[in-house]
A and B are shown apart, each in its own frame.
Chain A
Amino acid sequence: MSEHDEVVLAAQGITKRFGGVKALDEAHLEVRAGQVTAVMGENGAGKSTLMKVLAGVYQDYEGRILRNGREAVFANPRQAQEHGVTIIHQELNLIPNLSVAENLFLGREFLDGLGLIDFRRMRREAAALLQRLDLDVDPRTRISTLRVGQQQILEIARALALHARVIIMDEPTSAISEREVDVLFGLIDSLRREGVAIVYISHKMDEVFRIADRITIMRDGRTVGSAPRAALSHDGVVRMMVGRDLKDFFVQTPTARGSEVLRVQEICLPHPDRVGDFLVKDISFSVARGEVLGLFGLMGAGRSELFETIFGLHARTASGQVFLEGREVRLSSCAEAIAAGLALVPEDRKRQGLMMDMSVAASISLASLAQVERFGFLSDRRERALAGDFGQRLRIRAVSHRQPVKHLSGGNQQKVVLAKWLATRPRVLLLDEPTRGIDVNAKNQIYRLIHELATAGLAIVVVSSELPEIIALAHRIIVLSEGRQTAEFSRAQATEESILKAALPRSLSSSRPPSSSGAATR
């Protein structure tokens, strides 16, 4: 075992180009045994690229990697693993239909005398690992039945099964609940005591300050600073990341409240698999012209499902009423919801928002093609005009309107999705995590835009899992927990603590709520 605090992995002067673009420009990083080294930076700062260089994913870089003081060249991720360096990607790499044990030892199965898989030994070893990580799961369980947080911990178990001494975690908490974060942090802590070096990439300031021993900040592919946590402040880190003051990132929103536009009553959505269980249960709220209503909830609170239900996506199974300007509407498809003046900017723009190969213009016009038609045929000129108009309003940075959206940055992609929905001229805008995974600048622009749209008379509902964001944006905040509404706050009453308290699930067995509770009401 390496000495604590010794540099076990170092990157020196790493430059990596993608075509003509320098993603990394002489970046450096030191990782010490028994320490958590956090790497922070805006999206596009080069964090992930640097990690991929360290983990052997990229080989065509300039500069040196030192492992325990000696230069190392990893030809592929497997070689990096053999050197004890393992990366846990943001998107988990477990195979859903295989068991926990099979996943843990994938590619390195234990064989018996006949060359067949020795399942008994695999289960035994898996059980030992799971116990070490305090994860109460049978090694025979299929991955697909586990929660994301549990899967995250399994990824760590897999790294340990590889005898990893350096574990790189890329945004490990982006998809897990607050409680699972605690479990993860407890685990990181014990790994640290065992002398494992952790590289921790995250955008979340609070987490980083809670867990990190050292913080390294990157900007534009360069390492701009690195210091022990105690020597840094939140504001200092943010300033290094963006070179700007934090004050810029807060927007003022008006408190004017017009007439009611959208009202939903007793929206229920049964769980697709568990009979008598609900993803969304008896949610009622209303939004007025010019109002921004915030919906806060942890993962699995039913926020996205609530939006989808209102938007007509679960018409066959859901129940409840939707009123637009006082009149009840029955929305049995997304097309009807759009026609009624609703717009939904979904949570996951890659999966639900965009066709990656489509051009910017085609993506923007997709939900409102009737507008760009002339004599029944699509008019290039009208489509260009529409795209140009919204491109300018939202400050979308693209080479041309014909550029495929996959070449845009996350922030610009998100703006394209927003433009698509604004082009439908909605009365109500449902925004699901509108700033997820985009850089601080783009975030700020989107905050301003939300503010402008509300001022212009739109009714807006924003789902966010970032407390400061929702407090800065919303006039009123409704908190969801396990599909139910647990609290409502006005802007003045809302504090981060009070909101979070209402959002935390009550029962400890949150994955298995009592099955009889909802059955009678159906």
Chain B
Amino acid sequence: MTLVILTGGIDLSVGSILALSGAIMAGLLKRGTELEALNLYIGYGAPAAIVVGLLVGASLGWFNGLMVTRFRVPPFIATLAMLTIARGLTKLYTGGEAITGLGQVFVSIGSGRLLGIPNQFWIAAGIVLVAVVLLRKTRFGRYVYAVGGNEEAATLSGLNVARVKRSVYVIAGTLAAVGGLIVTSRLNSATPIAGEGMELDSIAAVVIGGTSLSGGRGSVAGTVLGALIIGVLNSGLVIMGVDPFWQQVIKGCVILVAVVIDRLNYKE
């Protein structure tokens, strides 16, 4: 999400893509693919199901990018449409029911531990590391900042603006699918409502982390911090026994305060 927003875009569809790719992983594990016409049944092990799920995420992201670059649909609209489409597909695929009982191998990914630390942490840390290197140390990362900072100047500097934009949506879609993998395997269940509201949490994390919604300014480190704040709020308020209705109000206020502080700093 940080990458998408750095280019001046936004991706509202990550929660739905998370749900759909999670459901597909679960569905493939559980039911396999039946091609009645060919009288063919394909069963999936965990690795194959995961790969297909990630590919689904990537291709939906690619589709978002295509809409944004080729057909000049504003990112907000393109991904809003995808939010609905992917959610609908999830419900169609699951028939509105949770898919459960996904087998030891798959479940161990989300709930297992390595060196006493949950796998989720390692996966997240790995992604953060790669993202930091990508943004700070590669041409592509620099181009992401450039496109968000000034698209016209980027074009004149010989950058393929459309390709950069498509790439960030593909990355966002793929990472949403990774999220789907983690959530589904941790719960040992893919529900059609998984990830609802997560797009907003992830945008909030990016914004709290100091990335500018108009693009060109921000960092992954900031987003990690933002995500931690959101995470601490989400669980901390529950632990403190705060009324769930108030939790939302408080979360919203924190987002506002963070952004206002950032604005004031930025204005010098």
Contact = CB atoms under 8 A, between A and B. Distances in A.
Interface in B133-151: 133, 136-139, 141-142, 145-146, 148-150
B26 to A, nearest CB: 37
Q: Which of A313, A333, A338, A352 has the most CB of B within 10 A?
A: A352
Contacts of B159: 334-335, 366
B42 interface: no
Contacts of A420: 157
A367 B158 contact: yes
Interface string A231-267: 0000000000000000000000000000000000000
Contacts of A376: 138
B12 to A, nearest CB: 25
Given A369-B139, A373-B139, A376-B138, A355 B156 contact: no
A479 interface: no
A353 B157 CA distance: 8
Interface string B156-190: 11111000000000000000000000000000000
A117 interface: no
Given A346-B156, A367-B158, A355 B150 contact: yes
A22 B262 CA distance: 26
Contact of B152 (A19, A333, A344, A352): A352
B265 to A, nearest CB: 13
A370 interface: yes
Contacts of A334: 155-159
B61 interface: no
Contacts of B141: 378
Contact of A335 (B138, B146, B158): B158
B268 interface: yes
A356 B268 contact: no
A271 to B, nearest CB: 20
A93 B163 CA distance: 35
Interface string B77-107: 0000000000000000000000000000000
A354 B216 contact: no
B251 interface: no
- Contact size range, B: 20 to 34
Contacts of B156: 311, 313, 334, 344, 346, 352-353
Given A334-B157, A355-B153, A377 B268 contact: no
Interface in A305-363: 311, 313, 333-335, 337-339, 344, 346, 351-358, 362
Contact of B145 (A351, A362, A365, A373): A362
Contacts of B138: 376-378
A107 B196 CA distance: 42
Contact of B146 (A311, A352, A366): A366
A357 B139 contact: no
Nearest to B150: A355
Nearest to A339: B158
B132 to A, nearest CB: 12
Given A355-B145, A369-B142, A333 B158 contact: yes
B217 interface: yes
A355 to B, nearest CB: 3
A378 B133 CA distance: 10
Contacts of B150: 351-352, 354-356
Contacts, number: 77
Nearest to A342: B158
B153 A357 contact: no
A352 B137 CA distance: 25
A353 B153 contact: yes
A346 B152 CA distance: 10
A378 B157 CA distance: 18
Contacts of B154: 355, 366
B158 A337 contact: yes
Interface in B113-143: 133, 136-139, 141-142
A168 to B, nearest CB: 25
A353 B156 CA distance: 8
Contact of B157 (A339, A351, A366, A370): A366
Contacts of B142: 362, 365-366, 369, 378
B134 to A, nearest CB: 10
Nearest to A355: B149
Contacts of A351: 150, 152-153
Contacts of A369: 139, 142
Contacts of A338: 157-158
A113 to B, nearest CB: 40
A479 B153 CA distance: 27
A221 to B, nearest CB: 19
A333 B155 CA distance: 9
A354 B146 CA distance: 9
A477 B28 CA distance: 71
Given A362-B145, A366-B146, A369-B139, A335 B160 contact: yes
A334 B136 CA distance: 24
Interface string B196-222: 000000000000000010001100000
Contacts of A335: 158-160
A337 B158 CA distance: 8
Contacts of B149: 355-358
Contacts of A354: 150, 153
A79 B152 CA distance: 38
Q: Which of B138, B139, B268 has the most CB of A within 10 A?
A: B139
B139 A367 contact: no
A23 to B, nearest CB: 14
A367 B268 contact: no
Contacts of B133: 377
12 contacts: A333-B158, A333-B160, A334-B159, A335-B159, A338-B158, A354-B150, A356-B149, A356-B150, A365-B142, A366-B157, A376-B138, A378-B136
Given A344-B156, A346-B156, A362-B145, 4 more contacts: A19-B268, A334-B156, A354-B153, A377-B133
Q: Which 5 A-B pairs have the closest CB atoms?
A: A355-B149, A335-B158, A338-B158, A367-B157, A377-B137
Interface of A: 19, 311, 313, 333-335, 337-339, 344, 346, 351-358, 362, 365-367, 369-370, 373, 376-378, 420
